Structure 1
Amino acid sequence: MFYGAVVWDPWLIVGQIVCLQCLYYLTLGVFLSILVGFRVSRMSLIYFFDYSTLTASTITGWCAIASFILSALAGASYMLHLVERAKKCLDFSATLYIIHLFICIIYGGWPSSITWWIVNGTGLAVMALLGEWLCIRRELRDIPTPRFRSSV
């Protein structure tokens, strides 16, 4: 979709990052609404950005963890369509999670929960590796060429 010109285009890169970040949070919101929304009386941004909600000691925490991992899986497929290059998947995944870390620091302070770091590190690895694998599969597909028969 966005892959094209050989020239370095910073606006394209910023656009890809913004699109990927928005799609990630949209997907996270859907998964949180489905998995956590039925367990709590009121959904809020605390489930997105507060490190204390990612805990393995409650069912709601496990549902939030599952939402983050499922969003990372979906993020890999978004990278297949937005980034389209296997060698850029790690860069875009790391950028997404670094931006998420900064937003979490602004929202709720430095994440001091080991569970938060494990979940986000796993999400980063899943998104980068699966995104690379999907992009490599697309890059290695045969290029269809029309077969013309000569009438000579």
Structure 2
Amino acid sequence: MFYGTAAWDPWLIVAQIVCLQCLYYLTLGIFLSILVGTRVSKMSLVYFFDFATVNASTGTGWGVMASIFLSSIAGAGFLVYLVERARKCLDFCATLYIIHLFICVAYGGWPSSITWWVVNITGLAITALLGEYLCMRRELREIPISRYR
């Protein structure tokens, strides 16, 4: 599809959101199993969705925070291949983290920890800014033109 054509395709947008959400949770699970799985006896969804696990007072909490930050960096890479446009990165990132907030509220209640909010808003900023930067670099690459037609 050419960048100049503006076709409204809601199925494509929904598919991109679902893919981005799934890839985010996949990478979060990988980083949680590496950084937190070695510290706890049993991994569960608590480390994904409960705001109480995101704290700076335990080593496990630091592992959860590091996993969220690393997943945010990986999410920026996913934006380059799924969204491909710098001007759409903030929209997709905000959608990703709003859906994550809804799932966290459904799982463990409203996040009352300031640490949870700081970590997730910082993760949103990392994903959006790094994703926009990487998408802009990709958009500004020169188009190779072959000499022989």
Q: 1:34 aligns to what?
A: 34
Structure 2 CA distance for aligned equivalents of residues 121 and 108 of structure 1: 18
Give TM-score scaled by structure 1 length.
0.94
Structure 1 CA distance for aligned equivalents of residues 146 and 73 of structure 2: 36
Q: 1:124 aligns to what?
A: 124
Structure 1 CA distance for aligned equivalents of residues 5 and 49 of structure 2: 36
Q: 1:83 aligns to what?
A: 83
1:47-86 mapped onto 2 (5 Å cutoff): 47-86=47-86
Q: Report the Cα offset of residue 79 of structure 1.
A: 0.4
1:131-150 mapped onto 2 (5 Å cutoff): 131-148=131-148
Q: Report the Cα offset of residue 148 of structure 1.
A: 4.4
Structure 2 CA distance for aligned equivalents of residues 139 and 148 of structure 1: 25
Structure 2 gap segments, 5+ residues each: none
Q: Report the Cα offset of residue 126 of structure 1.
A: 0.2
Q: Report the Cα offset of residue 5 of structure 1.
A: 6.0
Q: Report the Cα offset of residue 128 of structure 1.
A: 0.2
Structure 2 CA distance for aligned equivalents of residues 44 and 96 of structure 1: 21
| Offset from partner CA, 1:50-106 (integer Å, 9 cap, x none) | 000000000110000000000000000000000000000000000000000000000
Greater CA drift, 9-18 or 138-147: 138-147
Structure 2 CA distance for aligned equivalents of residues 112 and 123 of structure 1: 18
Q: Report the Cα offset of residue 147 of structure 1.
A: 2.1
Q: 2:111 aligns to what?
A: 111
Structure 1 CA distance for aligned equivalents of residues 119 and 44 of structure 2: 20
Q: CA RMSD in A?
A: 1.6
Q: 1:7 aligns to what?
A: 7
Q: Report the Cα offset of residue 7 of structure 1.
A: 0.9
Aligned length: 148
Tell which structure's C-alpha radius of gyration is larger.
1
Structure 1 gap segments, 5+ residues each: none
Percent of paired sites with the same residue: 74
Structure 2 CA distance for aligned equivalents of residues 15 and 5 of structure 1: 19
